[in-house]
Structure 1
Amino acid sequence: MPAPERTARVRVDEFTRFLRNETTGGTILLAATAIALLWANSPLSESYFAVRDFQFGPEQLHLRLSIGDWAKDGLLALFFFVAGLELKRELVVGELSRRKQAILPVVAAIGGMVVPALVALTVGWGAPGIERAWAIPVATDIAFALGVLALTGSNLPSSARVFLLSLAVVDDLGAMIVIAVLFTTKFNLLAAGVAVLAFALYAWLQHRRVRTVWLYLPLAIVAWIAVHEAGVHATIAGVILGLLTRAKADPGEEEAPVIRLEHRYQPFSAALAVPLFALFAAGIEINADALGRVVTTALPVAVLAGLIVGKAIGILGVSAAAVRFGIAQRPRGMGWRDLGALSLLGGVGFTVSLLMAELALTGSAADEAKTAVLLASVVAALAAAVLLLRRNRAHGETVSSSAD
């Protein structure tokens, strides 16, 4: 390879690795959210809503959608494809493949979904829309949470990242199940059959070790369109395709498809799909009156309580119970204070919680719920960061003492 081409390839590889960095993904996500809030609350706000609501796409396939809907239904499918790949890798060759190591993040994720939902239902009981809005605080944002951990917990044992990643991936799988069940208003049996055939063909091609993208890309598009037409939220197609991807490398194969595809598409997810979704989902009116309604109206208060209080209690409480009764083991090198900080970090709902709010509610109720999601995510991230910095310092001092 000529020197200039080799240099360009190295630069591309370095940039790709930079985009895969969890801190980078979290930073881009925060920047997109800040731009959305500033744009939607500026004198140019009309242009924001005009862009977000501009429609395009083939009417014949029922795909004439707004730009905001394309970001929500289309781009987020890539995010959930990467999440499905991560889950498949963890289930087959990662921490979740070993029963004792898998039990704690799995039960913690279940606690982190059930308890926030119960807290939200209790606090918001009787409020219009709570029968669907209880699902908003069940999710944890993978990119944002891992980004905060990367920034504040460099001295924590590697088991902390594995625990949080496993918990967040299982959490998002649960959120996908909730979306499929709770937000499916119609069901087209023929389209569902086409989707099943597309998934089966994808799995067969994986089994036959076919690698060409020119087969998989059209197949993925067909699967996405069929799931969308079936009445199920189209992002489900992404997570199913991720879970159907082969996770073990063959002899002579450098890496399994699940790892190769994760490395290939994670930068696009972190730098394009999730930020663009946030750009068109987080553009809500923020002023004194709006914030006042968020902290005094039952439904957004329920979302706040679910994410900030319910997540922490659910994750830490269920983890403690599982260890106490011998069902699971505490991650190696981690104390209960470490787990407490990570449990608070689980309250960063962000991407998937914003999606839930858009699916569950409309109008001003949706805006209030999304404001609550943003506020709760910031509070949870800051509170967790303070605790993680203290734990990071404690672990650093322990390492220094050991070295002496």
Structure 2
Amino acid sequence: MPRPSTAPEKRRIAHVWPFRPTVRYGGQVAAALRTETVGGIVMLLATVAALVWANTPWADAYKSLQGHELSPHWLGLEHMDVQHWASGGLLAVFFFIAGLELREELAHGELRDPRDAALPVIAAAAGVAMPALIFVAVSAGEPGALRGWAVPTATDIAFALAVLAVTFSSCPAPLRAFLLTLAVVDDLIAITIIALFYTETLHWAWLGIGVVLIAIYGLLQSRDIRSPWLYLPIAVLAWYCVQRSGIHATVAGVALGMLTSSRETPDGRPTNAERADHVLRPLSAGFCVPVFAFLSAGVALSGSALNAVLGDRVALGVICGLVIGKFVGVLGGAWTAVRVGLATLGEDLRWREIAGVAMLAGVGFTVSLLIGGLAYTDPSRFERVTTAVLIASIIASAAAAVVFRRRARPRPAE
């Protein structure tokens, strides 16, 4: 989910884009959407709205909206319904932001120094491997179950940061940086998994054109070309070519974000990455991700539907993977890394707080639902998996809130 850069803000962004909001409240709304708490709340409201609609007598209208086809055949984009546009189009903006954050972490953040990066990187890797292993163990023997091994490996950082902000208001900066870096690495691993394991047919010609366009984008960025009107058509064409290649188009979003320049300017103007982040983050948090959540989270919550989830070992594997696997993987990976000397625990970090973050890592939503949709094309199976992701996220949030409320001592501001 969208999240702010871990680097301190160096300047006030004034001239960010060729146009700026002329309405006072428009600027205030955009500023609010750049905060993780507001973004998480907007996504939560969209999720609740979808659940309410899907459990009313008008549930068929919701299903019809999801499956309404918007396929411009003249562009070669076939079988693209509203839900596919949300996952392949709108989420590309979200992953572009993720690419920006990864670039920022590598240039100025926790990933710049390998010794500082070791703890969250190892924790993130273990936090991907353990849920996958637990899912495979729980769902073993179910037909087609292995397609979804990656569903419980992802973390929804917007919800996680919202829970952290509400339940641990005195959260120390190093702990928040640990969670953010963990999430950035988690996103990178997730998009790599999508590219490698959820690409069925690869069209090399389209992929080659997409790679060339992405390379041109990176070359222009390296030369510090600043006009967004030049980058916008290149980015759209790159997205289109990657989509036609058979690889999920969100991969293009991450690649473009990582290639966006974060080089400081001599006159102190915002970098290209800062300008893009300033404009696109509110769009991602206020529209792209909530719309995706709204179109994906509408599942039946009747007694029979919940019984079906609890009787489905694939759904149970998702719940166990997110709630147990993420906690054991993140905390165990961090503890092992420190124990064997691969990483060090900072002076301002405590194991009980790391444990709370490990529980928060089990809040899987956006990327988990994306992978679930790629893994399971059967609507009933995907609905049970979606319900499982929601249940696991609620459990993980509640458990983390208890830890932070009862065990994390407030710290005075420095």
Instruction: Give the structure-2-normalised TM-score.
Output: 0.92
Equivalent of residue 222 in structure 1, options 210, 216, 237: 237
Alpha-carbon distance in structure 2 between the residues aligned to 1:146 and 1:172? 15
Alignment of 1:28-39 (within 5 A): 28-39=42-53
Do structure 1's residue 383 and structure 2's residue 406 form an aligned pair? no
Q: Which of 66, 81, 106 lines up with 2:121 in the alignment? A: 106
Quick one: which of 31, 47, 67 aligns to 1:53?
Answer: 67
Residue 40 of structure 1 deviates from its aligned partner by 1.1
Give 1:373's aligned residue: 389
2: distance between equivalents of 1:238 and 1:129? 29
2:191 maps to what in 1?
176
Structure 1 residue 60, shift from structure 2 partner: 2.5
Three-state SS of the structure 2 residue aligned to 1:56 is coil
Q: Do structure 1's residue 15 and structure 2's residue 15 form an aligned pair?
A: no
Displacement after TM superposition at 1:9 (Å): 5.8
Partner letter of residue 335 of structure 1? R
Residue-by-residue CA offset, 1:34-61 (whole Å, 9 max, x unaligned)? 1111111111112111222111242022
State the Cα distance separating 1:12 from its structure 2 match: 3.5
Q: Which residue of 2 aligns with 1:363?
A: 379
1:8 Cα deviation (Å)? 5.0
CA contact (8 A) 1:160 1:331 kept: no
Gaps of 5+ in 2: 1-19
Which amino acid in 1 is paired with 2:124?
A
Shift of 1:223: 0.6
Residue in structure 1 matching 2:153, options 131, 134, 138: 138
Deviation at 1:7, TM superposition (A): 10
For residue 231 of structure 1, report the CA deviation from its aligned partner.
0.3
Please say if residues 21 and 27 of structure 2, whose CA atoms lie closer than 8 Å, have aligned partners that are also in contact. no
Structure 1 distance, partners of 2:346, 2:153, is: 23
Q: Distance in 1 between matches of 2:154 and 2:176?
A: 17
Aligned letter for 1:52?
Q
Contact kept in structure 2, 1:142 and 1:168, CA below 8 Å: yes
| 8 Å Cα contact 1:301-1:372 kept in structure 2 | yes
**Equivalent residues in 2 for 1:197-236, closer than 5 Å:** 197-236=212-251
* Count of residues paired in the alignment: 393
Shift in Å, 1:150? 1.4
Equivalent of 1:301, from 294, 299, 316? 316
Q: Is the Cα contact below 8 Å between 1:89 and 1:259 reproduced in 2? A: no
User: 2:329 matched to 1:314?
Assistant: yes
* Structure 2 residue 207 is matched with structure 1 residue 192: yes
Note the residue ranges of structure 1 that are not aligned, 5 or more in a row: 1-5
Instruction: Return 376-385 or 10-19, whichever deviates more.
Output: 10-19
For residue 327 of structure 1, report the CA deviation from its aligned partner.
Answer: 0.9
**Partners of 1:156 and 1:214 in 2: how far apart?**
40
Moved more, 56-65 or 328-337: 56-65
Separation of aligned partners in 1, 2:220 and 2:28:
31
Higher alpha-carbon deviation: 241-250 or 222-231? 241-250
**Distance of 1:139 and 1:130 partners within structure 2:** 17
Alignment partners' CA distance in 1, 2:381 and 2:191: 22
Counterpart CA distance in 1 for 2:319 and 2:282 is: 31
Q: Aligned partners of 1:17, 1:151: CA distance in 2, in Å?
A: 19
AA matched with 2:166: L
Q: Is contact 1:199–1:223 with CA below 8 Å preserved after alignment?
A: yes
The residue type paired with residue 375 of structure 1 is: I
CA contact (8 A) 1:294 1:368 kept: yes
CA RMSD of aligned residues (A): 1.6
Q: Could you list the per-position Cα deviations for residues 208-243 of structure 1 after superposition, in whole angstroms to 9, with x for gaps in the alignment?
A: 211111111111110111001000011111001011
Structure 1 window deviating more from structure 2 (103-112 vs 64-73): it is 64-73
CA contact (8 A) 1:153 1:391 kept: no
Q: Report if the CA contact (8 A) 2:155-2:363 is conserved.
A: yes
Does structure 2 conserve the Cα–Cα contact (< 8 Å) formed by 1:138 and 1:307? yes
1:87-131 CA-to-partner distances (Å, cap 9, x unmatched) read 110111111112221111111100000010001111111112221
Aligned partner of 2:397: which letter? A
Between Structure 1 and Structure 2, the one with more helix by share is 1
Provide the residue aligned with 1:292 in structure 2.
307
Amino acid at match of 1:201: I
Separation (CA, whole Å) in 1 of partners of 2:168 and 2:251: 32
CA deviation string 1:334-372 (max 9, x = no partner): 210000000000001111001111110122111111110
Q: CA distance change for structure 1 residues 258 and 391 in 2, over 3 Å: closer, same or farther?
A: farther
User: How big is the shift at 1:13?
Assistant: 3.2
Match of 1:335 in 2: 350
Alignment check: 8 A CA contact 1:202 1:241 kept: yes
**1:93–1:248 contact (8 Å) kept in structure 2:** no
The letter of the residue matching 1:307 is: L
Runs of 4+ in 1 over 3 A off after TM superposition: 6-13
Q: Which residue does the alignment assign to 2:294?
A: 279
- Offset at residue 332 of structure 1 (A): 3.6
Q: Secondary structure at the match of 1:186?
A: coil
Other-structure match for 2:257 = 242
Looking at structure 1, the residues matched to 346 and 133 of structure 2 have their Cα atoms a distance apart, in angstroms, of 27
Output the CA distance in 1 between the equivalents of 2:347 and 2:290.
34
Change (3 A) 1:7 1:211: closer
Q: For residue 3 of structure 1, what is the aligned residue in structure 2?
A: none
The one-letter amino acid of 1:338's match is: E
- What code does the residue aligned with 1:299 have? V
- TM-score by length of structure 1 reads 0.94
- Contact 1:284–1:371 (CA<8 Å) still a contact in 2? yes
